Amino acid sequence: AQKVTQAQTEISVVEKEDVTLDCVYETRDTTYYLFWYKQPPSGELVFLIRRNSFDEQNEISGRYSWNFQKSTSSFNFTITASQVVDSAVYFCALSEGNYGQNFVFGPGTRLSVLP
Amino acid sequence: DSGVTQTPKHLITATGQRVTLRCSPRSGDLSVYWYQQSLDQGLQFLIQYYNGEERAKGNILERFSAQQFPDLHSELNLSSLELGDSALYFCASSVDGLAGATGELFFGEGSRLTVL
């Protein structure tokens, strides 16, 4: 069965520090998709990124970057120069198969960025 | 604003009661997903509908049921409620039933259910 592990339950950093959120996944499928979602204090879930299993190229979007390594089954998320507005719960998610079924979320990491 | 609408936003009820949560997907989206988020269980997939038909089932209790109507809105029915059913219930939609393969899930703001 598929599984997503986010070992860091809570992280606190001071503003402007860099922070990396870890995500390790398990799947037997060769085709799968990885996601990161952000849940700010207001509660809604906001899509950040989607990656398919055939594209290991790392991605950078502003202060956000993602490191996908199939060899270690990891899809880590780094925030550079963190800001207070980055405070949220971040979820890593995995969906499997050619049809992207079985969309499963990790337990989430609560990030607190202190001023 | 994701375009997914959930009502009610908050609901307080008693054990043993039955409630219905409603979800309107984004315009044009055919697929609806229901998730339960509780403090100790994280985000749990409950069920998915695609164009009116059940597509996938997760950890949904027998006391819970859902359906998707011809206008594509969906309802999640929770009956014989227990204290442990208190949670935030999210609805999400995607343009097709292939959310992972073709793109993302768009989430509503959730319905917070409190069972007393």
- A72: pLDDT confidence band, cut at 50, 70 and 90? very high
Q: Tell me which H or E stretch contains B100.
A: helix B99-102
The verdict on A99 touching B (C-beta cutoff 8 Å) is yes
Detail the DSSP E strand segments found in chain A.
3-5, 10-14, 19-21, 24-26, 32-39, 46-52, 59-61, 64-69, 74-79, 88-96, 101-105, 109-114
CB interface of A with B, residues 47-86, below 8 Å: 47, 50, 52
Q: Which residue has the higher pLDDT, B69 or A50?
A: B69
- A24: pLDDT confidence band, cut at 50, 70 and 90? very high
Instruction: Report d(CA B52, CA B49) in Å as an integer.
Output: 6
Per CB-CB distance under 8 Å, the chain B contacts of A100 are 98-102
- B41: pLDDT confidence band, cut at 50, 70 and 90? confident
Is-contact B75 B89, C-beta < 8 A? no
Residues constituting chain B: 116
Which residue is closest to A92 within chain B, CA to CA?
A: B43
Across the A:B interface, residue pairs with CB atoms under 8 Å apart total: 67
Q: Do B100 and A101 count as a contact with CB atoms less than 8 A apart?
A: yes
Is-contact A47 A35, C-beta < 8 A? yes
- B103: pLDDT confidence band, cut at 50, 70 and 90? low
The verdict on A101 touching B (C-beta cutoff 8 Å) is yes
Per CB-CB distance under 8 Å, the chain A contacts of B101 are 33, 52, 95, 97-100
Q: Do B109 and A44 count as a contact with CB atoms less than 8 A apart?
A: yes
Chain A: give the shortest CA distance to residue B71, in Å: 23
Shortest CB distance from B56 goes to which of A42, A46, A101? A101
Q: Read off φ and ψ for residue B108, nearest 5 degrees.
A: -80, 180
Helix, coil or strand: residue B93: strand
Q: Tell me the two tokens of residue B109.
A: 């703001």
- B58: pLDDT confidence band, cut at 50, 70 and 90? confident
| Range B50-58, long-range pairs (CB < 8 A, 24+ positions) | B50/B96, B50/B97, B51/B97, B55/A101, B55/B31, B55/B97, B56/A101, B56/A102
Per CB-CB distance under 8 Å, the chain B contacts of A98 are 101
Give B72-87 as a DSSP string.
S-EEEEE-S--GGG-E
**At residue A99, does pLDDT exceed 60?**
no
The sign of the CA dihedral A29, B26, A48, A4 is negative
The sign of the CA dihedral A84, B90, B33, A103 is positive
Which tens digit of pLDDT belongs to each residue from B5-31? Answer: 999 999 999 999 999 999 999 998 988
pLDDT at residue B102 in the model: 61
